[in-house]
């Protein structure tokens, strides 16, 4: 079906050093899956110059919202001044409450809600929660929402679902990739790199950070203190580059966020954990189902306790038959379900 120029996908998410970039990266992945039938615009509150560039480099327009206004005022302005009945709005964030959603529906737009909190009733046309173990009764639905639940609907960037592979057999640990997201507000990257440098196995270490990361100088100092190790610092890497890094290191150490799912889809051995409440369920799930090792709460681990957790993780991965995270991705169904909203 051909759509008019009036049809738009509108992607509403935020990203900054406090909340990280996870919501924004998920919607960039979804936007790439939806590319083609309609134009698209990202709506972001006070985006930094780096985030503006990130969105534009992906080929999307961006509209900046002012900061400091209540969510209710934001929703009213979007419904009255920005959204069109021909739009499909996609929400991904911590505080897009029922009242916020209901206000936006007054514009007549279609609504897709990406959620992993299960914190309030939902009025969206389509609800996506790609966490494992989710069932329909976890939600109170106030509309005839179509549910896309579970890892089969993971919001993955193209290089990851194109290179999906079963778990790879354990090998000698000689290299490790460390990535705590684009912002890492708790500075867990530095702490974990220090611990990995205490282990003799790793001759090659790569660290991935984003534009919102504020401790690059410390990482550079650590690298200079270990001239016999290959320590590479990567900032603002593309999806293709991150997929390549994950595939060319024998171990990944990442939190239970999108980057964990990306690593597991590629079949990589992973030590994970959490530092935010909404990450804990995923960390526990992959550990219980022998898909990865969870070190627990990274925020509580430092010094010897972190070193012990990393050593336990390597032993677990070397002596366990890891299970696949996803049996079959449902990219086509995900795309078709959302695109149908353009012709409602």
Domains and CATH numbers, the chain: 8-155+329-343 (3.40.50.11190), 160-319 (3.40.50.2000)
For residues 294-321, give the mean pLDDT: 95
Burial of 200: CB neighbours in 10 Å, binned 0-12, 13-18, 19+? exposed
pLDDT at res. 17: 65
Do residues 88 and 10 touch, judged by C-beta distance below 8 A? yes
Q: Is the dihedral of CA 286, 288, 289, 290 positive or negative?
A: positive
pLDDT of 23 above 70:
yes
pLDDT of 3 above 60:
no
pLDDT in tens, 115-143: 988 889 999 999 999 999 999 999 999 98
pLDDT in tens, 160-217: 999 999 998 777 899 999 999 777 888 899 999 999 999 988 999 999 998 778 788 9
CA distance 128 to 191: 34
pTM, 2 dp: 0.88
pLDDT in tens, 85-97: 999 999 999 889 9
Classified as helix, coil or strand, 4 is coil
CA distance 344 to 339: 10
pLDDT at res. 291: 97
Enumerate the β-bridge partners of residue 179: 208
pLDDT at res. 20: 72
For residues 252-258, give the mean pLDDT: 95
Q: Please, which pLDDT band fits residue 4 given cuts at 50, 70 and 90?
A: low
């Amino acid at each position: 079906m051909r759509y008019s120029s009036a049809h738009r996908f509108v992607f509403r998410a935020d990203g900054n050093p406090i909340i990280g970039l996870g919501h924004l990266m998920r919607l960039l992945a979804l936007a790439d899956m939806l590319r083609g039938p309609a134009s698209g615009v990202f709506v972001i509150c006070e985006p930094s110059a780096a985030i503006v560039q990130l969105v534009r480099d992906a080929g999307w327009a961006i509209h900046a919202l002012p900061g400091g206004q209540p969510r209710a005022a934001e929703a009213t302005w979007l419904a009255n001044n920005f959204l069109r009945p021909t739009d499909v709005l996609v929400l991904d964030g911590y505080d897009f409450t029922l009242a916020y959603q209901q206000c936006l529906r007054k514009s007549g737009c279609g609504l897709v809600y990406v959620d992993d909190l299960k914190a309030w009733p939902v009025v969206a046309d389509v609800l996506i929660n790609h966490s494992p173990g989710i069932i329909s009764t976890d939600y109170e639905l106030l509309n005839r929402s179509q549910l896309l639940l579970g890892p089969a609907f993971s919001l993955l960037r193209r290089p990851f679902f194109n290179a999906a592979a079963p778990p790879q057999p354990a090998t000698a640990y000689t290299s490790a990739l460390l990535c705590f997201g684009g912002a890492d507000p708790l500075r867990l990257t530095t702490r974990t790199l220090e611990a990995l440098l205490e282990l003799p196995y790793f001759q090659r270490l790569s660290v991935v950070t984003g534009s919102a990361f504020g401790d690059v100088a410390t990482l550079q100092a650590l690298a200079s203190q270990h001239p016999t190790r290959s320590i590479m610092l990567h900032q603002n890497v593309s999806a293709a580059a991150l997929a390549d890094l994950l595939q060319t290191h024998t171990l990944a150490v990442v939190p239970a966020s999108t980057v964990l799912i990306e690593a597991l889809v590629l079949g990589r051995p992973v030590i994970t954990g959490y530092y935010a409440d909404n990450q804990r369920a995923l960390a526990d799930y992959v550990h219980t189902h022998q898909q990865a090792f969870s070190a627990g709460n990274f925020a509580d681990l430092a010094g010897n306790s972190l070193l012990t957790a990393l050593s336990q993780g390597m032993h677990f991965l070397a002596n366990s038959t890891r299970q696949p995270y996803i049996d079959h991705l449902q990219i086509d169904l995900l795309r078709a379900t959302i695109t149908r909203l353009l012709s409602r």
